[in-house]
Amino acid sequence: MVKTKLITIGIGISISLVLLTTPLFAMNKTVFIVASYEENHICGGPQEEGIIQGLNKEGWFEGKNLIVKRFYMDTKRKNSTLQAMKKVAGVIVEKIKSEKPDLIATIDDNAFREVGLQFVGVKNISIVFSGLNGLPENYNKKKHFMNSLKKPGDNVTGVYEKLYIVRSMKVMNSALQNLSGNKIVGITDYSPTGNALTKQFEIELKEKPTNIKWELIRVKNWEEYKKAIQKINNENDVKAIYPVALSLKVSDTQTYTAPEIFKWTINNSTKPEMALNYFFSKIGLFGGAAVDFKQMGFATGKYAGIILNGEYAGNLPIIDAPDYAIVFNLKRAKQLNIKIPASLLTAADFIYKK
């Protein structure tokens, strides 16, 4: 019988661990999933689900031949300072040293940087990352784990979160039919993820359509974000926004993340939003060509399963997120009085009506 237990480790910082247990004789491998997010986060949840499905695809099933332990660092809301991140990571690192799992799957940059990198080169532990925004080459400078993207060579591999922003621009141009000669404004924060996203924009936009202008605004907190949106509302040449400021301080004791930020944005912005991932469109953003976080997790899980089946992590190439989804939220389109061409709706992977 499989039992589910939620354990909270009290160290002055919130961290949750979900442990699925079953008779020990049935288990022969252990995987730790370490997420930067809180449990069921709109970015982390789909990746975690995909990881499990990828493991299943390679013959590994929770409660049968696999123990899975889940750690939620909650670095976007509660533990958002570097000091808090390191403290919560320290608990997980000690747990890994004690229990020696076969594989660590990290979700997002904070988990990889603060936990995954600590086990580079450690014998009998493999690391697979999902949703990395920072360039693997930059992390490699902090701690060497990679000879090349095609063949890393050490005990680390994973899936880089390619944004597909150029593709999304083209989809938005088809949807709005007014982007030529006008502007899209991206919005990022100064968190580690915000810094990485800013760099990703710089890299991917080298190939942007020449007829579409781009501007980036960076915000330090919630008040700056609100002012930026209100300013953009009055700029006629701005036809769309790409809001990826996902961790914004409201006060010393409160931080807003995607649900609060996007709820306010939908109610106050007059510009259609490009969605980073299709779950953002599900909760109300306009859409575009969005990263498929579940498929990204699935690719990570397949890698994990292949490694558990005997392959060395360093032999598996570090890959870009394997897919994007064309997605639209029709309620938001109606709110903005935008009529999306029928041909584009037919081509969409996901259409949300709420």
CATH code, 274 = 3.40.50.2300
The domain in which residue 219 lies consists of 165-292+325-352
Residues 150 and 201 in one domain: no
Computed over every residue of the chain, the mean pLDDT equals 91
Residues 142 and 199 in one domain: no
Residues 198 and 333 in one domain: yes
Could you list the beta-strand ranges (E) of 47-182: 67-72, 103-107, 126-132, 156-160
The model's pTM: 0.86
User: With pLDDT > 70 as the criterion, what percentage of the chain qualifies?
Assistant: 92
- Can you tell me the distance from the alpha carbon of 86 to that of 89, in angstroms, rounded to the nearest whole number? 5
Residues 226 and 300 in one domain: no
Q: Which of 93-107, 166-180, 252-266 shows the highest mean pLDDT? A: 93-107
Region 321-327: mean pLDDT is 87
Q: Distance between terminal CA atoms of the chain?
A: 39
Residues 228 and 317 in one domain: no
Region 17-42: mean pLDDT is 72
Residues 146 and 272 in one domain: no
- Can you tell me the distance from the alpha carbon of 56 to that of 167, in angstroms, rounded to the nearest whole number? 31
Q: Read off the DSSP letter of residue 275.
A: P
Residue 19, pLDDT above cutoff 50: no
Residues 146 and 288 in one domain: no
User: Of the candidates 342, 304, 310, 335, which has an alpha carbon nearest to the alpha carbon of residue 158?
Assistant: 304
Residues 58 and 194 in one domain: no
3-state DSSP call for residue 213? strand
Determine if residue 214 is left, alpha or beta; phi over 0 gives left, psi from -120 to 50 gives alpha, anything else beta. beta
Band of residue 29 on the pLDDT scale cut at 50, 70, 90? very high
Q: Which two tokens stand for residue 48?
A: 């975690």
Which helix or strand (DSSP H or E) is residue 51 part of?
A: helix 44-57
Region 21-25: mean pLDDT is 37
Residues 300 and 183 in one domain: no
What pLDDT digit, counting tens, does each position of 205-227 carry? 999 988 999 999 999 999 999 99
- The dihedral sign for the CA sequence 312, 314, 315, 321: positive
Please give the tally of structural domains in the chain.
Answer: 2
Residue 56, pLDDT above cutoff 80: yes
Residues 198 and 269 in one domain: yes
Residues 62 and 141 in one domain: yes
Q: Do the bridges between strand 156-160 and strand 319-320 make them parallel or antiparallel, or are there none, so unpaired?
A: parallel
* Alpha-carbon distance values, 59 to 64, 122, 301, 335 (Å): 10, 25, 11, 46
* Alpha-carbon distance values, 281 to 95, 128, 254, 261 (Å): 36, 27, 25, 13
Residue 79, pLDDT above cutoff 70: yes
Band of residue 8 on the pLDDT scale cut at 50, 70, 90? very low
- The confidence score (pLDDT) of residue 278 equals 83
Residue 27, pLDDT above cutoff 90: no
Residues 194 and 273 in one domain: yes
